[in-house]
A and B are shown apart, each in its own frame.
Chain A
């Protein structure tokens, strides 16, 4: 009996593995997650564009059931199989992926995944959106969270000021960790270590004296709340003339192989012209001989 039961169980397991129908378990905290904002037409439009570039090749056109042949088959967005997922579950599955479904967390950012979900939900007439409660902090909820950047010249410090707006009242938010970055060509460079806001909601960063800026010393600074869970993505960006002015000649200034035709390296120009003029000069000389041969024959 036990052997039979074991056999039966393994058979079911194998069958479910083959068909790929093992349930996709979403962690409960993710399952309950909701978007902080109500889906708007703009969200649905952006989501639709993202769907076109990232999802359509497998999931097909919503409602047309023209999905790609994979095992397990990717569900059509309008199908019950897709729509029975909670918003959070959809977010989790798009972010993480499984088997043939790729993980999109490094390709599409969190806000855009919500946009895709907004688009997916537009194919479900019964869907009524629930949004997450407004950001709360220490018992207080804010309508809006602001982050501003200042330059504290005497102390050579960059100050980031975090405040929350509650109706018409603006309050500082203390004890939140902030990071400061300087924008570089390829990505952001972190300045110093993360700093917590004080009672005034301010975090001050010692700014290095030798950081190169552009030709006028401008550096674009970016401050960001480390924890995105409480208030979502809170970010401030501001250019400040606090870097060292660097007047490096641009890469397209000198004569170089990578430059435009007028800035050909001299050695190449010389070689090319010498060879071409030499060879074509000889060719014209040879052509002239035809005339001489013709004249002698007259």
Chain B
């Protein structure tokens, strides 16, 4: 991000066109109401499932003595992982001066805000007595990675919200006179969120300074959020978790899931909001290359994570790996590794596959696989404790998620989609001022749609 803003773009006619394009889909239309109503209905069904869990306790889930972290904690890791892409795109690539990320930076931020907010909620779904949540703060031990996790998730969410908010202030100022077609309350919200921004150079100076601080802070926080999440597992000696590379392994996996999520939203914005002028073929090509890069890093960590213990085959590790490679979890394991990592990597090498449509298919498969990948990290280890499993009913020995548990998990995903929908539909999804400034500075460059 530049340290100064050339405010010439404000008088440039291109601004009107860009603002008109970006603000056209903004507002409450029929499709949006139908979409949100269906999501709300689904959410209510899932909330009823949660009511049952609150009433009867965790016995309604498949969680028992051995597998006490099942779908919920896998889901938590998935949410934390996916939210990390906000840092990668806005912060790392943005600060390195890659201008092509400007139109998709806000999409990445929306994912960061929605997914980090829901991550905290998912943890509560795994609690048998959620009303005791304040105890974490009242009696928490600083020695426990769980307290660190609560700290960094809260911090990352705050930073993501602030980054989303700050970069949108000039857009709110630009847009507030141009959204006559939207409800009054939305116009008032824009007015409020513009913070009296009048594009004064002093205001831009302060804004850029604040954004710079946020961009710098968010890098170590994002590293911390997922490294600490990995430590929840890696600080134990259990097979499959007792690993020194768990931090980078989780981080690299997070970027794979996050890039896939960004590509899916990019495709949606490009096609449904008719913004192909701003999110171009080139963006998909570049995101495809980025996804390939993070995938090959993740592949490298997977190789280390599985090959090294498999070569040594220590008793418990050997049993664990056997379950993954050829046992109970083999089908899921190989599906995830092939469909979620190896095949996408091969496909992304071809230019034809980095076009919007093939890319979104690849991204959907990768995102689904990355959800199951988290399940494979959590469940097989919990099913194989060091001490023999005895004196419990047979049904407790193996983890079978129940319908209620699945419904609650679907509920958290629904909630994330709802937040994303609201942010994408009611606010400019592409930073108008940044694009206008860019186009004003380089008027000769025309995007290839």
Mark A residues whose CB is within 8 Å of B: 53-54, 57, 257-261, 264-265, 268-269, 272, 276, 279-280, 282-283, 285-287, 289-290, 292-298
Q: How far is the CA of A289 from the CA of B139 in the complex (A)?
A: 34
> Which residue of chain B has its CB nearest to the CB of A269?
B142
Name the one of A53, A283, A294 contacting B217, with C-beta atoms under 8 angstroms. Answer: A283
Q: How far is the CA of A293 from the CA of B53 in the complex (A)?
A: 47
Q: Which residues of A contact B304 (CB under 8 A)?
A: none
Q: How far is the CA of A53 from the CA of B393 in the complex (A)?
A: 10
Are B198 and A297 interface neighbours, CB within 8 A?
Answer: yes
Q: Which residues of B contact A279 (CB under 8 A)?
A: 155, 217, 221
Are B202 and A261 interface neighbours, CB within 8 A?
Answer: no
Are B198 and A257 interface neighbours, CB within 8 A?
Answer: no
Q: Which residues of B contact A57 (CB under 8 A)?
A: 393-394
Mark B residues whose CB is within 8 Å of A: 139-143, 148, 151, 155, 158-159, 162, 166, 169, 195-198, 200, 202-203, 206-207, 209-210, 213-214, 217, 221, 391, 393-394
Q: Which residues of A contact B214 (CB under 8 A)?
A: 286
Are A260 and B393 interface neighbours, CB within 8 A?
Answer: no
B contact face: mostly helix, strand, loop, or mixed: helix
Q: How many A-B residue pairs lie within 8 Å, measured between CB atoms?
A: 73
Are A276 and B196 interface neighbours, CB within 8 A?
Answer: no
The minimal Cβ–Cβ distance linking A243 to chain B, given in whole angstroms, is 33
Are A293 and B143 interface neighbours, CB within 8 A?
Answer: no
The minimal Cβ–Cβ distance linking B5 to chain A, given in whole angstroms, is 13
Are A297 and B143 interface neighbours, CB within 8 A?
Answer: no
| Known contacts A272-B142, A286-B214, A293 near B221 by CB under 8 Å | no
Q: Which 3 A-B pairs have the closest CB atoms?
A: A297-B196, A261-B141, A289-B210
Are B196 and A261 interface neighbours, CB within 8 A?
Answer: no
Are A282 and B196 interface neighbours, CB within 8 A?
Answer: no
Q: Which residues of A contact B393 (CB under 8 A)?
A: 57
Extra inter-chain contacts (14) besides given A268-B142, A290-B210, A294-B196, CB under 8 Å: A261-B139, A261-B142, A269-B142, A283-B155, A286-B166, A289-B206, A289-B207, A289-B209, A292-B206, A293-B195, A293-B203, A293-B206, A293-B207, A296-B196
The minimal Cβ–Cβ distance linking B164 to chain A, given in whole angstroms, is 13
Name the one of A259, A286, A289, A294 contacting B143, with C-beta atoms under 8 angstroms. Answer: A259
Q: Which residues of A contact B162 (CB under 8 A)?
A: 283, 286-287
Name the one of B142, B151, B196, B394 contacting A293, with C-beta atoms under 8 angstroms. Answer: B196
Name the one of A259, A283, A293 contacting B159, with C-beta atoms under 8 angstroms. Answer: A283
> Which residue of chain A has its CB nearest to the CB of B155?
A279
Are A280 and B141 interface neighbours, CB within 8 A?
Answer: no
| Known contacts A285-B213, A289-B209, A298-B196, A268 near B202 by CB under 8 Å | no
30 pairs, A vs B, C-beta closer than 8 Å: A57-B393, A260-B141, A261-B140, A261-B142, A264-B143, A268-B143, A269-B142, A272-B142, A276-B151, A276-B155, A279-B155, A279-B221, A280-B155, A282-B217, A283-B159, A283-B162, A286-B162, A286-B214, A289-B207, A289-B209, A290-B210, A292-B206, A293-B196, A293-B197, A295-B196, A296-B196, A296-B203, A296-B206, A297-B203, A298-B196
Q: Which residues of A contact B221 (CB under 8 A)?
A: 279
The minimal Cβ–Cβ distance linking A269 to chain B, given in whole angstroms, is 6
Q: Which residues of A contact B159 (CB under 8 A)?
A: 283
> Which residue of chain B has its CB nearest to the CB of A297?
B196
Q: Which residues of B contact A264 (CB under 8 A)?
A: 141-143
Name the one of B143, B151, B394 contacting A257, with C-beta atoms under 8 angstroms. Answer: B143
Q: How far is the CA of A255 from the CA of B443 in the complex (A)?
A: 64
The minimal Cβ–Cβ distance linking A287 to chain B, given in whole angstroms, is 7
Are A293 and B217 interface neighbours, CB within 8 A?
Answer: no
The minimal Cβ–Cβ distance linking A22 to chain B, given in whole angstroms, is 26
Q: How far is the CA of A286 from the CA of B209 in the complex (A)?
A: 9
Q: How far is the CA of A257 from the CA of B200 in the complex (A)?
A: 52
| Known contacts A287-B162, A296-B196, A261 near B143 by CB under 8 Å | yes
Q: How far is the CA of A282 from the CA of B162 in the complex (A)?
A: 12
> Which residue of chain A has its CB nearest to the CB of B224?
A275
Q: Which residues of B contact A298 (CB under 8 A)?
A: 196
Name the one of A53, A292, A293 contacting B391, with C-beta atoms under 8 angstroms. Answer: A53
The minimal Cβ–Cβ distance linking A282 to chain B, given in whole angstroms, is 6
